[in-house]
């Protein structure tokens, strides 16, 4: 068996400590800055209601006026 200097083993042990400390610091930084990805003042656009979607589809010509009326009656029954 060959002789391994004591300092070499301590160096390897220290590298593992540095690795875990760096990993913990990275996780803390990620948690602190996770909500800062969007520009200041940015708000997510509001979601469309089912009635707004229906009106938009009629305006875009995706559905006919008859289909609009049928679906509107169904939506009005649920609310």
| pLDDT tens digit at each of 79 positions of the chain | 555 555 555 666 777 888 999 999 999 988 887 766 666 667 777 889 999 999 999 999 999 999 999 999 999 987 6
Task: Output the CA–CA distances (angstroms, integers) from residue 73 to 9, 15, 50, in the order listed.
Answer: 77, 69, 12
Please tell me the pTM assigned to this model. 0.44
pLDDT of residue 24: 95
* Residues 54 and 72 sit within 8 Å (Cβ to Cβ): yes
With CA atoms as reference, report the closest residue to 57 among 44, 72, 45: 72
Are the C-beta atoms of 49 and 57 separated by less than 8 Å? no
User: What pLDDT score was predicted for residue 64?
Assistant: 94
Domain ranges of the chain: 1-37, 46-79
pLDDT at 39: 65
């Amino acid at each position: 068996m060959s002789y391994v200097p004591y300092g070499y083993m301590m160096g390897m042990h220290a590298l593992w400590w540095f690795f875990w400390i760096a990993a913990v610091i990275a996780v803390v930084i990620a948690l602190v800055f996770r909500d800062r990805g969007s520009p200041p003042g940015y708000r997510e656009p509001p979601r469309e209601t089912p009635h707004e979607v229906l009106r938009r589809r009629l305006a875009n010509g995706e559905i006919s006026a008859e289909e609009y009326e049928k679906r509107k009656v169904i939506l009005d029954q649920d609310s």
